[in-house]
Amino acid sequence: MSTTSAAPTASTPSAAAASAPATAAPSAVPVAAHSITAPAATSQRELHSLYRRVPNLGDYGSMTAIEERWILPKARAYEASAPRFGSAGELLQALKEFLAEEEASLPESATFLAEHATLDQFKVVVRQFALDGLTESESLLPVVPRLPYRSAMAVFRVLIDELGCGNEEKAHSQLYRDLLTELGMSLRLDDYLDETTPECFAYVNMFHWLASRAPSPQYFLGAYAYFETSVLYAFQSFARAARRLGITHDAYYTEHLYIDSYHSSHMRTAIRSLDEPDLAKIWAGVRLASDIVGTATEAAVARARETVA
């Protein structure tokens, strides 16, 4: 999953997450509540549009302005407050602990989705992530030439799977199309622009920024190492909901539960392969992804609860 998928984490926003002081012991990193605040819907939608086209000089200025208001301050704050890891191994151990704590404290929205959401409510959640599902991993390809060779090859192995290893029927974006088709929903990306929440626009835009726009591709490595592991528990609620509701084309969710343990291993390899890892940037990527993905999931479930009786 790339740009695809939603991992529920702690449920209450908190501005403290991005400003927590650095600690000397990387094993004591708390799972903070989500702190990402997406800019106005118009800004996120504009950024999504800018990322989807070849930009001119004015477009570059617009992208930079939105990024400077939205994601760059958060990335810098998480980088500045990152624990003082002594090695990539210490960082990966801290990531393991962070993920375990996150999995142990899944929000109530995960239970609601898995056990109580109606079919119409589930369709609202599916709709909120359609911008990602219909284009999954396409925006990630530019990160490959930005990375050192060995790290890039580990990432590329993951992306090959995301794209179905060349088999159109197995590409994750096609699995999402199959799901949308069964649910009687549009396969046209533009049909989802007007109803996607700012938080879910931010979810898609984050992956574009990490792969193409971030000052360093090492932010991407942290974010995607987090993402490929968190999906293993985050998508459980989606898969359980689909099974409970009798949805046949649930492979988009079940495939991630199967393949992402393999992907998680490759992302750890990508980090270990770096000759000069910037551990603070990698950790900032972890925290950005946790916040933005979790906040998007919360917003999608909230939208389902608000708009469906």
Average pLDDT value over all residues in the chain: 87
The answer to whether 115 touches 240, Cβ cutoff 8 Å, is yes
Residue 65 CA to residue 79 CA, distance in Å, equals 20
Residue 167, classified by CB atoms within 10 Å of its CB into exposed (0-12), middle (13-18) or buried (19+), is exposed
Residue-wise pLDDT tens digits, 253-279: 988 676 656 788 899 999 999 999 999
Residue 176 CA to residue 173 CA, distance in Å, equals 5
Q: Could you read off the pLDDT tens digit of each residue along the chain, which spans 309 residues?
A: 444 333 333 333 333 333 333 433 444 444 434 444 445 667 999 999 999 999 999 999 999 999 999 999 999 999 999 999 999 999 999 999 999 999 999 999 999 999 999 999 999 999 999 999 999 888 999 999 999 999 999 999 999 888 877 777 778 899 999 999 999 999 999 999 999 999 999 999 999 999 999 999 999 999 999 999 999 899 999 999 999 999 999 999 988 676 656 788 899 999 999 999 999 999 999 999 999 999 999 999 999 999 765
Greatest C-alpha distance within the chain: 54
Closest CA to 227 of 291, 160, 278, 182: 291
φ/ψ region of 166 (left if φ > 0, alpha if ψ in -120 to 50, else beta) reads left
Residue 264 CA to residue 227 CA, distance in Å, equals 8
Residue 158 CA to residue 153 CA, distance in Å, equals 9
φ/ψ region of 165 (left if φ > 0, alpha if ψ in -120 to 50, else beta) reads left
Residue-wise pLDDT tens digits, 114-123: 999 999 999 9
Residue 72 CA to residue 188 CA, distance in Å, equals 31
